[in-house]
């Protein structure tokens, strides 16, 4: 087992919910030591869900693996004093509190820089600091609605937001990437720095494909359901499969680029080579125009297969196809566990959980997955081990409910 690339890097983590926690979890999976600071007694706001108020939420476990938890009341002078000593020992600080909160606590970039001038200080907010919306709170859908993504997703008459938190986890992951670059710059140029990730701006960048139709048509991208958003080409759709449950579908998209044999391959596989001499289906654009005829022909073939079988047959014949896999399909298919994309962890309150791991495979990074920490699990290790607090000092902080 090699050591991860960030072995030795210490991250002081004031993150909550998903955007910030996804960032620090990524750093932990790359080998950093992450000290997650939580409120005494209640912990991070994301520890609890409405469905399960007395236990850690599964969402919390998913977002906080491989971290260490310490408690600290940041609104007490004693708490701030010990945390500032940890700023001194840290390489990186990450936070995603509401606008202005970290500065009000006296832990903003300028405060931390005074303590540790090489600190890399990363903040995630809904909106950029110089945006007119800088003081607005934001959860994931606020960023996807204001960043161009929802306007391009759904049906013509109904915008639909993404079903998972792309703005949250995405902002966190790009923040982790920026921190990696800043650590490199600190090595080569000797500078620390401030990193600000605005979730709206991250989504604007993520929605970049929408600028092609904007320039082609002079209009924002239309919402095309499961069609091809960049231009009117076909076939591109999600087709029904046996046994016709809510997620029994396969998506098929044939390339719009000249020279592609994918539509030819599709016609051959579905036993309809006759379509190749039909003028109505001679170009990607005409296949779109006659999709009301073409789609039912394709659906007639997919309906004779189960979704994974359809995907295998099509993809093995160079036709881009993807079965509509849901969380149950992925969790229950042993291949994901075997290759480490789904990992099994044992949580004291929740038992065994199979949850997603870290996607990148690196020859010099081997993640040993550890379940999310219990609240304050590492108080002793960090306050005594890193700061050298005595028994007496620890007792005093505990009695005053500072930790
Ligand atoms: C997500 C969000 C809307 C939540 O708002 P919220 O529930 O009001 O929580 P906030 O982060 O604004 O406030 C947290 C408060 O707890 C305090 N707090 C946090 N950790 C603390 C600790 N360990 N001890 C004492 N107080 C603590 C903060 O100082 C802040 O106090 P303040 O309101 O007096 O400034 C807001 O945090 C936000 O806009 N974050 C940035 C964007 C973001 O990351 N959104 C996606 C999250 S997945």
CATH classification of the domain holding 343: 3.40.50.10540
Q: Whose CA is nearest to atom 40 of ligand 1?
A: 98
Residue 328 lies in a domain: no
Predicted pLDDT at 392: 97
Tokens encoding 332: 């229950």
| Angstrom distance (rounded) from CA 16 to CA 18 | 6
| Angstrom distance (rounded) from CA 174 to CA 179 | 9
> Does residue 80 register a pLDDT over 60?
yes
What are the catalytic residues? 168
At 280 the three-state DSSP class reads helix
CATH of the domain at 283: 3.30.1540.10
CB–CB of 38/375 below 8 Å? yes
107 and 254 share one domain: no
200 and 92 share one domain: yes
Pocket residue to mutate for ligand 1, from 59, 97, 375, most atoms within 8 A of Cβ: 97
Q: What's the mean per-residue pLDDT of the chain?
A: 97
Residue 169 lies in a domain: yes
Last residue of a domain, one of 273, 293, 323: 323
CA torsion, ordered 7, 9, 13, 19, to nearest 10 deg: -70
Q: What is the mean pLDDT of residues 270-283?
A: 98
Q: Which burial class, exposed, middle or buried, applies to 128 when counting CB atoms under 10 A from its CB (0-12, 13-18, 19+)? A: middle
Per residue in 373-386, pLDDT (tens digit) is 999 999 999 999 99
258 and 159 share one domain: no
Predicted pLDDT at 213: 87
339 and 312 share one domain: no
28 and 91 share one domain: yes
Q: Whose CA is nearest to atom 41 of ligand 1?
A: 125
Do the bridges between strand 68-71 and strand 33-38 make them parallel or antiparallel, or are there none, so unpaired?
Answer: parallel
Share of the chain above pLDDT 90, in %: 94
> Does residue 255 register a pLDDT over 70?
yes
How many angstroms is it from 45 CA to the middle of ligand 1? 8
Predicted pLDDT at 2: 54
Pocket residue to mutate for ligand 1, from 18, 59, 137, 376, most atoms within 8 A of Cβ: 137
Q: How far is CA 383 from the centre of its chain?
A: 31
Predicted pLDDT at 354: 98
Last residue of a domain, one of 323, 343, 365: 323
> Does residue 222 register a pLDDT over 90?
no
Residue 113 lies in a domain: yes
271 and 150 share one domain: no
| Angstrom distance (rounded) from CA 87 to CA 105 | 14
| Angstrom distance (rounded) from CA 28 to CA 82 | 23
| Angstrom distance (rounded) from CA 7 to CA 202 | 28
Residue 127 lies in a domain: yes
How many angstroms is it from 32 CA to the middle of ligand 1? 24
| Angstrom distance (rounded) from CA 301 to CA 297 | 7
Tokens encoding 343: 């990992």
| Angstrom distance (rounded) from CA 367 to CA 179 | 19
> Does residue 159 register a pLDDT over 90?
yes
How many angstroms is it from 149 CA to the middle of ligand 1? 25
Q: What b/e readout covers 229-260, taking b as 16+ CB neighbours within 10 angstroms?
A: bebbbbbbbbbbbeeeeeebbbbbbbebeeee
Residue in the structure block whose two tokens are 């993150």? 15
Number of separate domains in the chain: 2
How many angstroms is it from 98 CA to the middle of ligand 1? 5
313 and 347 share one domain: no
Residue in the structure block whose two tokens are 């239309």? 222
Indicate which atom in ligand 1 lies nearest the CA of residue 79: 24
Last residue of a domain, one of 300, 323, 346: 323
298 and 343 share one domain: no
88 and 158 share one domain: yes
**Ligand 1, CB within 6 Å, residue ranges:** 17-20, 37-39, 45, 72-75, 96-98, 101, 104-105, 124-126, 137-139, 168
Q: Count of residues for the chain?
A: 403
Residue 216 lies in a domain: no
| Angstrom distance (rounded) from CA 5 to CA 30 | 6
Predicted pLDDT at 192: 98
Residue 2 lies in a domain: no
Residue 221 lies in a domain: no
Residue 29 lies in a domain: yes
343 and 202 share one domain: yes
| Angstrom distance (rounded) from CA 213 to CA 211 | 6
Per residue in 104-132, pLDDT (tens digit) is 999 999 999 999 999 999 999 999 999 99
60 and 199 share one domain: yes
Q: Which run of H or of E encompasses 332? A: helix 327-332
CB–CB of 129/99 below 8 Å? no
Parent domain of 28: 10-206+334-399
């Amino acid at each position: 087992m090699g050591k991860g690339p960030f072995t030795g890097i210490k991250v002081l983590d004031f993150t909550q919910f998903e955007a910030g926690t996804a960032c620090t979890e990524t750093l932990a999976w790359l080998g950093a030591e992450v000290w997650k600071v939580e409120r005494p007694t209640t912990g991070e706001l994301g520890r609890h869900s409405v469905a399960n108020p007395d236990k850690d939420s599964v969402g919390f476990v998913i977002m906080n693996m491989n971290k260490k938890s310490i408690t600290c009341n940041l609104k007490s002078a004693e708490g701030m004093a010990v945390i500032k000593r940890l700023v001194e020992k840290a390489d990186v600080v990450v936070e995603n509190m509401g606008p202005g909160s970290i500065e009000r606590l006296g832990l903003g970039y300028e405060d931390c820089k005074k303590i540790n001038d090489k600190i890399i200080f990363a903040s995630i907010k809904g909106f950029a600091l110089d945006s007119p919306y800088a003081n607005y709170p934001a959860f994931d859908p606020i960023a996807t609605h204001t960043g161009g993504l929802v306007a391009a997703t759904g049906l013509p008459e109904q915008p639909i937001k993404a079903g998972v938190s792309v703005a949250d986890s995405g902002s966190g992951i790009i923040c982790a990437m920026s921190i990696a670059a800043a650590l490199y710059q600190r090595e080569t140029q000797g500078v620390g720095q401030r990193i600000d990730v605005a979730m709206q701006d991250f989504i604007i960048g993520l929605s970049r494909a929408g600028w092609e139709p904007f320039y082609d048509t002079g209009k924002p991208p239309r919402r095309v359901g499961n069609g091809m958003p960049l231009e009117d080409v076909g076939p591109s759709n999600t087709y029904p499969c046996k046994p016709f449950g809510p997620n029994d579908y396969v998506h098929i998209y044939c390339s719009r680029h000249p020279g592609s044999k994918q539509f030819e391959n599709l016609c051959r596989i579905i036993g309809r080579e006759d379509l190749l001499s039909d003028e109505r289906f001679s170009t990607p654009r005409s296949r779109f125009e006659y999709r009301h005829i073409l789609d039912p022909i394709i659906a007639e073939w997919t309906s004779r297969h189960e979704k994974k079988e359809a995907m295998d047959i099509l993809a093995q014949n160079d036709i881009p196809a993807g079965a509509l896999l849901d969380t149950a399909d992925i969790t229950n298919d042993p291949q994901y566990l075997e290759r480490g994309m789904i990992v099994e962890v044992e949580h004291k309150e929740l038992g065994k959980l199979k949850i997603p791991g870290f996607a990148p495979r690196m020859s010099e990074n081997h993640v040993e997955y550890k379940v999310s920490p219990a609240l304050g699990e590492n108080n002793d290790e960090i306050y005594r081990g890193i700061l050298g607090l005595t028994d007496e000092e620890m007792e005093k902080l505990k009695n005053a409910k500072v930790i």
